[in-house]
C-alpha cells in the first residue's frame, strides 16, 4: 500500500511539473546607438493585447548600453508570444512619436518589422516558446 501511494505521489509530481513547465528567454538586443536612457521590452500573448501598454503580459527595462544589451526573462509558461522593444533614449518611459505616429526612438519586434503605415501585426511577430530559448533582435 505504501509503495502504491509513493508511486501515485511521484506520478502527480512529475505530471504537475510537465503541465506547469516554466522557461526562460535570453533576449539579446543589438543596434543600440547610444547609452542614453533605457531599453524597454514588453511581452504579449495575443492579438487583442498586442502593443497595448495596459495589457502587457510581462515587461522590463534596463540601462541602455551602446551596441548591445541582454535580458534574462524567466517564468514563461509554454505558449505563443510576441515582443516589442524600444530605446527610451530620453528616459520618459514612453515611445516618442512624431505627429504622424512614426516612432522617433529605435524600435524592434520579435520577428516582424515596422511597415510604411504602422507596426507589424501580432501574427507577424509571434513565436512559440516550449523550452528555454535565446533570441537576438536588432533595433531599427
Question: Alpha helix (H) ranges present in 1-140?
Answer: 2-19, 122-125
Its sign, for the CA torsion 37, 39, 45, 51, is positive
Question: How confident is the prediction along the chain (140 residues), in pLDDT tens digits per residue?
Answer: 555 554 444 444 444 445 567 999 999 999 999 999 999 999 999 999 999 988 999 999 999 999 999 999 999 999 999 999 999 999 998 999 999 888 999 999 998 888 877 899 999 999 999 999 999 999 98
The number of beta carbons lying within 10 Å of the beta carbon of residue 39 is 25
The confidence score (pLDDT) of residue 41 equals 96
In contact, 16 and 90? CB cutoff 8 Å? no
The number of beta carbons lying within 10 Å of the beta carbon of residue 74 is 10
Amino acid at each position: 500500500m505504501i509503495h502504491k501511494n509513493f508511486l501515485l505521489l511521484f506520478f502527480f509530481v512529475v505530471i504537475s511539473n510537465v503541465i506547469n513547465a516554466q522557461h526562460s528567454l535570453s533576449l539579446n538586443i543589438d543596434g543600440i546607438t547610444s547609452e542614453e536612457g533605457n531599453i524597454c521590452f514588453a511581452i504579449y500573448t495575443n492579438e487583442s493585447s498586442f502593443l497595448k501598454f495596459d495589457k502587457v503580459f510581462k515587461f522590463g527595462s534596463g540601462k541602455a548600453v551602446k551596441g548591445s544589451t541582454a535580458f534574462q526573462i524567466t517564468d514563461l509558461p509554454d505558449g505563443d508570444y510576441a515582443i516589442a522593444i524600444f530605446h527610451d533614449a530620453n528616459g520618459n518611459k514612453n515611445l516618442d512619436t512624431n505627429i504622424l505616429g512614426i516612432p522617433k526612438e529605435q524600435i524592434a519586434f520579435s520577428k516582424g518589422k515596422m511597415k510604411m503605415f504602422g507596426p507589424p501585426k501580432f501574427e507577424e511577430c509571434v513565436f512559440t516558446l516550449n523550452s528555454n530559448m535565446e533570441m537576438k533582435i536588432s533595433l531599427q
